[in-house]
Amino acid sequence: MAEDQGISETGHEARPEQTLGEIGLWQFAPYLMNRIMGRYNANLQTAVRPQNLTTAKMRTLAVLAVVPGLTINELSVYAVIEQSTMSRTLEAMERSGLIRRETRESDARVREIYLTDAGQSEFDAVWPIMYARYRELFTGIDDAERTAFVGTLQKVLRNVRLHDL
């Protein structure tokens, strides 16, 4: 129908495909996000190295500190760490007494992962470093802008994850 022309099913205006040159690298969100996270993750890895933490271990501590009882699959998705790396990381953390695994009451096949008190202390020690880096990202950006930005990130994550957790 004529009145539908110009709007696609997804709510985008229909328009010819743009080239990357037309959009411009500095306007291309995936480029900006890869640049930001590449630098942020590298900075953070350097900052936590004196505490003998890898990126995988640090993220595992952080995720379990706020979402206790995850399975290894869920933890792998939330921490954005491959399953094989996550499996090795958890074994090392269990040996160091930072996490424990419990059988889920409602389903004996499922193992839930929790921080121990030592794991919680380890996270409490590293959090100020993570928080300082987080604040640095938003230097000169006020609360309203940060809130709007986070709202868009949430929509983008819903768009990209599809059937993911």
- Report the interface residues with its own copies, using CB under 8 A: 10-13, 17-21, 24-41, 43, 62-63, 65-67, 77-78, 80, 127-128, 130-131, 133-143, 145-146, 148-150, 152-157, 159-161, 164
**Residues making up the chain, counted from first to last:** 165
Shortest approach of its own copies to residue 62 CB, angstroms? 6
Could you write out the DSSP letters of every residue in 146-164? HHHHHHHHHHHHHHHHTT-
Smaller CB separation from its own copies, 35 or 103 = 35
Shortest approach of its own copies to residue 47 CB, angstroms? 13
Smaller CB separation from its own copies, 15 or 109 = 15
CB contact burial 89-127 (16+ within 10 A = b; e otherwise): bbeebeeeebbeeeeeeeeeeeebbebbeebbebbeebe
